[in-house]
Amino acid sequence: MELVRIFVAEDSENGLWSIFKDAALQNEFERFFERMNDIVWLHGFFSLHHDDLNSGFFGKMTVDDAVVKTMSEAEEMENALYDFTQQGFSGHGARLQSIFKPLNNHEYVISLYQKSKARLRNGWLRLYAIRLDWNCFIVTGGAIKLTPDMQRDHLQHELKKLGQTKAFLRQREIHYPEDLNTYYDDQH
């Protein structure tokens, strides 16, 4: 596993990083958004999870409508993240904290290595990350969440990656955002 920069401020350690699995061709941030814009992949996903799609958690819709909704939501989420970088990393209210929330909906205290998610209001896309600080996150993956729990195999896989990334950070003593830059410089 490696850590790569996605949007990182030049004058601080604030920003968004992503994991890059050894055998993967792209980092998890890129992989997530590429999949969410791949019509063939989305059709396959919604066909496979047709029962969840029509369970009523998000209302009932056709596979084609779900594909359109997903692509629109992915564009909105990606734009929100890009807008963040354009506003500056420590600017007036422009914080990743406003996009990423604790994974556990009943967790109200911000903590080191906190499992987190980015999602749009009433959306089903989730971008998962580990929080190092108020404005510093490491993306571990993402998923379409059609159910109220995390019991589906693809969601369990995302939980596993969150745990692996947390262990990776602890093992390498990456506790603070500035440790990410030290790690990155040592690797390159």
What pLDDT score was predicted for residue 93? 55
Q: Residue 13 pLDDT more than 90? A: no
| Domain ranges within the chain, ordered by starting residue | 2-187
Cβ atoms of 44 and 35 closer than 8 Å: no
**60/138 Cα distance (integer angstroms):** 33
**Which tens digit of pLDDT belongs to each residue from 111-162?**
899 999 999 888 999 999 999 988 899 999 999 999 999 999 999 999 999 9
What pLDDT score was predicted for residue 86? 74
**Which tens digit of pLDDT belongs to each residue from 80-105?**
888 887 776 655 555 788 889 999 98
The more confidently predicted of residues 125 and 11 is 125
What pLDDT score was predicted for residue 126? 97
Q: Residue 109 pLDDT more than 90? A: no
Cβ atoms of 144 and 38 closer than 8 Å: no
What pLDDT score was predicted for residue 59? 83
